[in-house]
């Protein structure tokens, strides 16, 4: 069971509800824009200024405005479905937050998300025909992109609109994508530690075959270089608490670092355990730890963490996908967006020594 909502709803008469449905004119009036602008926000959002679009969407949500589905669907011949793969057997808090935001953004545009699963990329590639034949999806939002990823090219070749949340690591693709600038995140994290007076700052990352991990490492190195400081030896570990604890223990011993920039919150949690052990030694310096992804783990441990702008990532992914759906034969170069993450600063409750 999941946590129960306490609110007890009241029953709206279905007919009354229909007659009380807000109109596009009401949305326009309340948002202080023209009806055409509201229509643009819904159908061709790329031509609307972001601030205006945000204002209109706020009003749409507030009034629970929904366009006339039947008329719209007849006109556009769309299924109103977007395919998203969930990894079977595993969950990823960041992906789940993106998925929730994507579902909400899609609903604003009168689309729904269809979930499918696949054991691996090959199985995913093999499933596209089936998904298209049975449900006539209007497009796909891919995620978990990686080197040698053939999914976007496969869809593009078949004229199926797609966007990926996650960059095109090979750089050869022609599809639009949205990603978060991980290097900028670790630059901010490292900059925060530098501003606090730390000079011996080390990085605890994932194995070197992780492109996402290497991107985050690069941001740390850039910040150290910009400050005229040497970067310290790098620690590597799998994304697991115990592995991170051992790696952090070793890294602290080797580097005498006073601060650790960690590639993820889970790794930061392991680092924190190593730090607490170390601080038991009389005279050992306090060690600051910064995480990445601003999950409940970071909140729980009271550590600063880099937050990915997942709602913006979902909105932009949808916008780019809709643009492809609206203009299937476009020859414009694909849009690529690197969004800026923010550092959420927390003051850790250090256990009293």
Which region among 23-31, 36-44, 102-110, 316-324 touches a copy of itself (by CB under 8 A)? Answer: 102-110
Q: Does 312 bind a copy of itself (CB under 8 A)?
A: no
Binder among 90, 171, 195, 333 for a copy of itself (CB under 8 A)? 90
Nearest distance, CB of residue 329 and a copy of itself, angstroms: 17
Q: Does 34 bind a copy of itself (CB under 8 A)?
A: no
What burial class does residue 271 get, using C-beta atoms within 10 Å of its C-beta: 0-12 exposed, 13-18 middle, 19+ buried? Answer: buried
Which region among 26-34, 36-44, 110-118, 321-329 touches a copy of itself (by CB under 8 A)? Answer: 110-118
Q: How far apart are CA 211 and CA 216, in angstroms?
A: 9
Q: Does 286 bind a copy of itself (CB under 8 A)?
A: no
Q: Which helix (H) or strand (E) holds 313?
A: helix 310-326
Q: Does 66 bind a copy of itself (CB under 8 A)?
A: yes
Size of the site for a copy of itself (CB under 8 A): 105
Sheet strands (E) in the chain: 81-87, 112-118, 139-143, 162-165, 177-180, 201-205, 235-236, 259-262, 288-292, 304-307, 336-339, 342-344
Q: Does 296 bind a copy of itself (CB under 8 A)?
A: yes
- Residue 177 · residue 318 · CB < 8 Å: no
Binder among 48, 53, 261, 266 for a copy of itself (CB under 8 A)? 266
- What secondary structure does DSSP assign to 87-128, as a single string? ETT---HHHHHHHHHHHHHHHHTT-EEEEEEESSHHHHHHHH
Binder among 54, 129, 286, 340 for a copy of itself (CB under 8 A)? 129
Which region among 25-33, 45-53, 98-106, 322-330 touches a copy of itself (by CB under 8 A)? Answer: 98-106
Binder among 167, 249, 319, 324 for a copy of itself (CB under 8 A)? 167
Q: Which residues pair with 306 in a beta bridge?
A: 292, 343
């Amino acid at each position: 069971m999941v946590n129960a909502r306490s609110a007890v709803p009241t029953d709206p008469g279905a007919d009354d509800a229909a007659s009380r449905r807000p109109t596009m004119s009401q949305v326009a009036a309340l948002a202080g824009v023209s009806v055409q602008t509201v229509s643009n926000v819904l159908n061709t959002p790329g031509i609307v200024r972001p601030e205006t679009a945000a204002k209109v969407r706020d009003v749409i949500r507030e009034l629970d405005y929904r366009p006339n589905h039947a008329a719209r669907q007849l006109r556009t011949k769309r299924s109103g479905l977007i395919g998203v793969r969930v990894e079977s057997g595993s969950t990823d808090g960041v992906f789940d937050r993106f998925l929730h935001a994507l579902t909400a953004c899609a609903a604003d545009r009168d689309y729904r998300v269809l979930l499918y699963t696949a054991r691996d990329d090959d199985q995913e590639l093999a499933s596209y025909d089936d998904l298209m034949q049975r449900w006539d999806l209007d497009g796909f939002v891919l995620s978990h992109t990686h080197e040698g990823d053939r999914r976007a090219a496969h869809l593009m070749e078949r004229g199926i609109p797609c966007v990926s949340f996650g960059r095109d690591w090979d750089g050869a693709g022609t599809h639009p994508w949205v990603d978060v600038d991980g290097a900028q995140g670790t630059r901010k994290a490292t900059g925060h530690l530098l501003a606090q007076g730390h000079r011996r700052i080390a990085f605890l990352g994932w194995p070197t075959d992780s492109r996402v991990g290497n991107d985050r490492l690069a941001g740390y190195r850039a910040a150290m270089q910009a400050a005229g400081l040497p970067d310290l030896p790098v620690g590597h570990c799998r994304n697991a608490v115990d592995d991170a604890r051992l790696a952090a223990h070793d890294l602290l011993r080797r580097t005498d670092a006073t601060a650790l920039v960690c590639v993820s919150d889970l790794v930061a949690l392991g680092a924190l355990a190593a730090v607490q052990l170390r601080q038991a030694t009389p005279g050992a310096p306090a060690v600051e730890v910064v995480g990445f992804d601003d999950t409940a783990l970071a909140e729980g441990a009271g550590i600063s963490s880099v937050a990915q702008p997942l709602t913006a990532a979902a909105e932009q992914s949808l916008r780019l996908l809709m643009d492809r759906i609206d203009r299937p034969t476009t020859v414009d170069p694909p849009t690529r967006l690197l969004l800026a993450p923010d550092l959420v600063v927390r003051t850790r409750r250090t256990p009293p020594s």
